[in-house]
Structure 1
Amino acid sequence: MDSIEQQLAAAVRLRERVDAMRFPPPVTQVYDPLDYAWAPFAAYVRRYGGGRKRVLFLGMNPGPWGMTQTGVPFGEVGMVRDWLGIEAAVLRPAEVSPLRPVDGFACPRSEVSGRRLWGGFASRFGRAENFFADHFVVNYCPLLFSVGARNLTPDKLASAERGPLFQACDIHLCAVVDATGPDWVVGVGRFAADRARQALAGRALRIGEILHPSPASPAANRGWFAAAERQLVGQGIWTGD
């Protein structure tokens, strides 16, 4: 089984595990784009996930206007369609909050984090193929948790739900690392970096960390990609030229 098929099989196993889990209040809706947005997710892995990757960027979980809409990590609609060149059918989830609709590639909202992340990579690498020659981007957790119109991040779940979820996500991350063979796993934000350190402890790779591009971060709002680039160069992951 090649790298692409390994990753898709691992995603199916993760989907099956997390879809069997139940998340009680205050969670009101759980979105799993590996279910309803499988077509664009699989297109992303098939187009860009093949072969060995020197650097694996790890996000936390889907944002409401990014991967929740397009199935692609940090998947701001315009960047996925226009820079990654991916557009595919997105089905309607079984349970949808009217406060958090899923419109797929017709979503009128733009996810700032995704626009910053992919836009930054586009500015440095030009074509998507140049970036993906030895980089890839995945999320640690595939689920978006809503409490009405508000996000609940995975770290805020009760321990009874968090434990089994993190175990499934750890297993999936290990499978992606086995498939892609990175030298570096770079957490996009502290949560992702900490989960990588725990899940991948003892492996012959290095864990890095960069600032999360969230608009809730004042530091990210002062020029996220320039800051992330400095961090990557400072850790020896990228060169400064």
Structure 2
Amino acid sequence: MSIVEEAIRSAKRLSKAASALSFDAPVTHVYNPLAYAWKPHEAYLRRLNPKGVRVLFLGMNPGPWGMAQTGVPFGEVASVRDWIGIEETVKRPAAEHPKRPIEGFACQRSEVSGQRLWGLFRERFGTSAKFFKEHFVANYCPLVFMTESGKNHTPDHLPKSERKPLDAACDKHLAELLQVTNPEWAVGVGKYAEACLKRVAGDSVRVTTVLHPSPASPAANRGWAPAATRQLVESGVWEA
């Protein structure tokens, strides 16, 4: 089986495992874009270099205006459609939050984190084909969690009893993805993702991190792209 087909099968297993879990208040709605946005996600996985990658970037979980809409990690609509070249049909979750509608590629909101991340790659590599030749971006957890108000609820705020089975499923998928892609470097986008990589990867890959591009981070708002580039150059992931 090819690397790409293995990655696709692994993502399907993760989707099934994650969908079987349940979560209590304050979480009221859970979206699984690996289910309702499977078409664009599969198209994204097919961008994976069949020979493996040198650098794997890992985020925490989908954002409500990014991967939740497009099925692509950090998937700001314009970046996915216009730079990566993916625009597929997106269905809707069974239980949709009225304040967080899924509009797919018609979504007019822009996810700042995805805009910054894919914007940096566009500036450095020019074309997505050049980026995917040695790089790939994934998320640790496939689920989006929301409270009754519609507020985003990240996995690190789940109680231990709910996080344990979720982490088990996500760790298994991450281990499979690392084995399949066989990267030289794994880069956690933010400290949470870095910790996940260190726990799962062990000594099989060199692990480092970059500042998370979220607008909630004052440091990221002071110039995320130069800061992230500097971190990647200093760690040895990229050349100056």
Q: Identity over aligned residues, as a percent? A: 56
Q: How does 1:198-217 map to 2 (within 5 A)?
A: 198-201=199-202, 203-217=203-217
Please state if 1:5 is matched with 2:10.
no
Partner deviation per Cα, 1:78-118 (whole Å, 9 max, x = no partner): 00000000000000110100111100000010000000000
2:220 counterpart residue number: 220
Q: Structure 2: how far apart are the matches of 1:49 and 1:106? A: 28
Aligned partners of 2:205, 2:37: CA distance in 1, in Å? 31
1:156 counterpart = 2:152? no
**Aligned runs of 1:97-116 on 2, under 5 Å?**
97-116=97-116
**Do the aligned partners of 2:49 and 2:134 also contact (CA within 8 Å) in 1?**
no
Paired residues of 2:122 and 2:128 also in contact (CA < 8 A): yes
Q: Is the 8 A contact 1:48 1:129 kept in 2?
A: no
**2:142 is aligned with 1:142:** yes
* Residue of structure 1 equivalent to 2:90: 90
The answer to whether the Cα contact below 8 Å between 1:117 and 1:213 also exists between their aligned partners in 2 is yes
- Gaps of at least 5 residues in structure 1 are none
1:1-241 superposed matches below 5 A: 1-147=1-147, 148-201=149-202, 203-240=203-240
2:30/2:145 contact within 8 Å kept: yes
Residue 67 of structure 2 aligns to which amino acid in structure 1? M
* 2:47 match: secondary structure: helix
Distance 1:114 1:182 in 2: 22
TM normalised by structure 1 equals 0.98
1:50 Cα deviation (Å)?
Answer: 2.6
CA contact (8 A) 1:68 1:144 kept: yes
Give the aligned residue type for 2:43: A
Deviation of 1:168 (Å): 0.5
Deviation at 1:47, TM superposition (A): 2.6
SS at match of 1:57: strand
Moved over 3 A (4+): none
Q: Tell me the SS of whatever aligns to 1:133.
A: helix
Cα contact 1:37–1:89 (8 A) shared by 2: yes
Please state how far the C-alpha of 1:200 moved relative to its aligned partner. Answer: 1.3
Matched-pair contact (CA < 8 Å) for 1:44–1:86: yes
Q: Offset at 1:125?
A: 0.4
SS at match of 1:89: coil
Tell me how far 1:49 sits from its aligned partner: 4.5
SS of equivalent residue, structure 1 residue 214 = coil
SS at structure 2 position matched to 1:93: coil
Coordinate RMSD, CA, aligned: 0.7
Shift of 1:74: 0.2
Mapped to 2, the partners of 1:91 and 1:31 lie a distance apart of: 11
Distance 1:166 1:51 in 2: 28
Q: Would you say the 8 A contact 2:47–2:132 is kept in 1? A: no
TM-score, structure 2 length as denominator? 0.98
Q: Any stretches of 5+ residues in structure 2 without a counterpart?
A: none
Partner of 1:28, secondary structure, is: strand
Amino acid at match of 1:163: K
Deviation at 1:205, TM superposition (A): 1.1
Aligned partners of 1:62 and 1:142 also within 8 Å: yes
**Cα distance in 1 between the residues matched to 2:110 and 2:49:** 24
